[in-house]
Chains A and B, each alone.
Chain A
Amino acid sequence: MSSSDIAIDSGAHNSHVQHHFVNSEQQFESSKMGMWVFLVTEILFFGGLFLAYIVYRAWNPELYTAASEELNTIWGAVNTLVLIGSSLTVAMAIRSAQMNQQKGIVINLAITIALACVFMVIKYFEYAHKFHLGIFPGEYYTYTGIDHPKANIFFSIYYMMTGLHGIHVLIGIGLMIWLIVKARKGAFSSEYYTPVEITGLYWHLVDVIWIFLFPLLYLID
């Protein structure tokens, strides 16, 4: 049976509706639920690191206070604002799609990407500064400024958490570039904007994880 037969069979099919869905709405709902379920897995993925953080902090509270002084609160705060701003613009991109504003989708996504890049650049300078001091993870740690035998573990956790978060930011940038390419071809409209919506959901999660990382790592004390 060819796909056109199926289209007739189940009534109101639009071009973007895949053959196994009854209608556009079912497809949208499924994609959205799929993304939410995936975000649950992301939370548990990061959850392992948060747990490691909690365990070592419970054992070495004084280490965390001392080590977090090495982190630059100002730049951390700037990055927090940058990410929150990008969450706003990605939400506005979804809104533009719902309102059929083709230009708005592209512009808002471009601003989001720009903000994400600003975040990564700031992160780069933070990392570079630490490497310069000899603050490397684990066994390569050579910094002597913190008087605690387990200072290396704090920075292992720091690099794992922020590094994994950074990878998620990069993936988000990639997804949004792909969205812009599609949007410029007019792929999204108020009828169909599922990819914009679920990428937005993903981006909000990346943002939320940073909102937890910032106080846990930078704002101790």
Chain B
Amino acid sequence: MATTSSFTTGKISAETIGGNGVSLGEKEVKKLKIKRFEPVEEPQIHYLNAEKGLWSWLSTVDHKRIGLMYLAAIAVFFLIGGTLAVLLRTELLTPAKTFMDADTYNQIFTLHGAIMIFFFLVPSVPAVLGNFILPIQLGAKDVAFPRLNLASFYIYLIGAIFAFVSITTGGIDTGWTFYTPYSSSTGGNVMMMTLGVFILGFSSILTGVNFIVTIHKLRAPGLTWNKLPLNLWGLYATSIIQILATPVLAITLLLLTMERALGIGIFDPALGGDPVLFQHFFWFYSHPAVYIMIVPGFGIISEVISTFSRKTIFGYWAIALSSLAIAFIGFLVWGHHMFTAGQSSLATMVFSFLTFLVGIPTGIKIFNWLATMYKGSIQLSTPMLYALIFLFQFTIGGFTGVMLGALSVDIHLHDTYYVVAHFHYVMMGGMVMAFLAGLHYWWPKMFGTMYSEFWAKVSATLVFVGFNVTFFPQFIMGAQGMPRRYYNYIDQFQPFHVTSTIGSYIMAVGFTIMAIYLLHALIKGRKASANPWGSRALEWQIPSPAPAHNFDHTPVVLNGPYDYHRPMSEFQMGVADKKH
């Protein structure tokens, strides 16, 4: 498919390859003929139209198509979760009942949390953007286990069906944390929801296994670990958390299900069990799970900031290893969710200290991104705009997180809106912004079209303003003692609640505009070039949209993904000659 533009009998290439000591299979490659290809502009046949019909989508093992199916699914869940959030905010306009009763309110905030976390945030970056871009960034034709990858999508859908059954047969009002003994004794269909999340866990595990093996075993010749795009380091760290933490959630939810089905009583004080043990089990997964959500976002931000600053990433290894450090430390801090739950004071002190440690690798990342931008030629395209929003909001979320990690402060702020605001600054203000940055960044590669830059900026501005208007007042009222999850509140908090609700409406308008211009781009956006951002990374050296098998020939990676110190003219994809 690619056209041969020139043919060099690889003196340069042979040295490069030899110097890296790349081995292909058994034999050490000494000299390699390199063909150079220019990517085809506006390809006639690509992965979107290589096969036709609904069945070709439903039965596909192509990682790119699976990524898009995940995108459609999580977009639906984001819409549902977002609508629920707007309903909640509307109810909170007045101190007493506005339009829904208290039980409905409890169910809606539970669903908002469970859907956004388990059905949107956890799969968002890995399963959508990761699936789409990981093999391409590796120079591979697919992930290591394509059929498992498809299976993971269907497992996800089965989990979703369970959740819907739960909602339609009584709903749940436990909060997304399912704390015992309330969750093992309350009415509603808790079992269906926990089984749904249990099943979802397998989907997450399969994605993690697939990514780890793919990164280890399917890197293109020349793609050494120190040339790995930082997005892949982020996904690698995420996958490690996914495979280590998710099984613990699985067993926890299985025990909870058995508690409701057979009354095994391990978490039930009435039968001699211990409810705090549930909290330990739950947070052993769910704290690392917030890093499952945020760490892949870090990867995207690294790509976007380097690309739009036209500069080599600053501190490559610091960023790469800090992702792994966060994954590691993230496993040791779960107890900070239980400072007031009756664990020993020694344990709380240790957990508090370890929580502060997470701030170090996170800070390292922030400073390296800032240093990357320093003296760069910053181009304020939409992905970069979202990256900047991420930096601003995530830093606020991170700092307030460190404050919540401090013992004496946490006793005051525990279970108040301060925690809600902190969490949303990290997850929505950080993670969702990173996801949007990635979606806008790789959109041309996914669909071969460009969206309206003007409307994208309008939407980004509205989302930014709306987000801060929504959640900043929550810091203030939380610090003044407004408890989270309450249906009624005292009059003094009403101005904050009203401001917050107005903010959520602004955000809703922003997201509606986004849905419109993205759908418009999908249907009749103007054609995107192969490399609209002038990036040096491998995924931009192939046509847009990507070919069905990513690469028609195995690529040889000669350059780093952030080699902005070299002119674009030198940047063509090296491709191994047929008989390598």
Contact = CB atoms under 8 A, between A and B. Distances in A.
A34 B209 CA distance: 6
Nearest to A157: B266
B552 interface: yes
7 contacts: A9-B554, A10-B554, A30-B213, A34-B213, A41-B209, A45-B250, A140-B262
A37 B209 contact: yes
Nearest to B212: A37
Interface stretch (B80-88, B226-234, B271-279, B301-309): B271-279
B292 to A, nearest CB: 14
Contacts of A52: 255, 266, 277
Which of B26, B213, B216: most chain A Cβ within 10 A? Answer: B213
A20 B141 contact: yes
A138 interface: yes
Contact of A153 (B25, B272, B552, B579): B272
Interface in B142-159: 142-146, 148
Contacts of A23: 25
Interface residues of B, number: 57
Chain A at the B interface: SS class? helix
B457 interface: no
Contacts of A114: none
B7 to A, nearest CB: 17
Nearest to B216: A33
Given A9-B552, A41-B247, 20 more contacts: A9-B578, A11-B579, A21-B218, A26-B25, A30-B216, A33-B217, A34-B145, A34-B213, A37-B213, A40-B244, A41-B205, A46-B251, A48-B255, A52-B255, A55-B274, A137-B263, A138-B262, A138-B263, A153-B273, A157-B266
Interface in A1-54: 1, 6, 8-11, 18-23, 25-26, 29-31, 33-34, 37-38, 40-42, 44-49, 51-52
A156 interface: yes
Which of B214, B248, B264, B548: most chain A Cβ within 10 A? Answer: B264
A160 B258 contact: yes
Interface in A119-150: 137-140, 149-150
B281 interface: yes
Contacts of A10: 554
Contacts of B31: none
B17 to A, nearest CB: 16
A149 B272 contact: yes
A30 B218 contact: yes
B213 A18 contact: no
Nearest to A5: B552
Contacts of A138: 259, 262-266, 268, 271
Contacts of B25: 22-23, 25-26
Contacts of A137: 258, 262-265
Contacts of A140: 262-263
A150 B250 CA distance: 25
Given A33-B213, A137-B263, A160-B255, A152 B248 contact: no
Contacts of B259: 138
Contacts of A152: 265, 271-272
B263 A139 contact: yes
A159 interface: yes
B252 interface: yes
Contacts of A164: 254
A216 B139 CA distance: 48
Nearest to A63: B272
Nearest to A25: B25
Contacts of A42: 247
Interface in B527-559: 547-549, 552-554
Given A41-B243, A47-B247, A160-B255, A22 B264 contact: no
Given A34-B145, A48-B251, A139-B265, A20 B272 contact: no
B266 A156 contact: yes
Interface residues of A, number: 47
Contacts of B554: 9-10, 22
B246 interface: yes
Which of B144, B245, B580: most chain A Cβ within 10 A? Answer: B144
A212 to B, nearest CB: 15
A51 B1 CA distance: 56
A153 to B, nearest CB: 5
Nearest to A153: B272
B136 interface: no
A139 B263 CA distance: 5
A48 B263 contact: no
B446 interface: no
A55 B213 CA distance: 34
B140 interface: yes
Nearest to A52: B266
A30 B138 CA distance: 15
A2 to B, nearest CB: 10
Contacts of A6: 141, 549
B264 A37 contact: no
A20 to B, nearest CB: 4
A18 B214 CA distance: 14
A20 B140 contact: yes
Which of A20, A47, A55: most chain B Cβ within 10 A? Answer: A20
B102 interface: no
B264 A160 contact: yes
Contacts of A139: 262-263, 265, 271
Contact of A30 (B1, B217, B258): B217
B28 to A, nearest CB: 15
A44 B242 CA distance: 11
Contacts of B263: 137-140
A41 B242 CA distance: 9
A159 B247 contact: no
A26 to B, nearest CB: 6
B24 A44 contact: no
Interface in A164-220: 164
Contacts of A18: 146
B344 to A, nearest CB: 14
A157 to B, nearest CB: 7
The 6 A-B pairs at the shortest CB distance, nearest first, are namely A48-B251, A139-B263, A156-B264, A45-B247, A20-B141, A138-B265
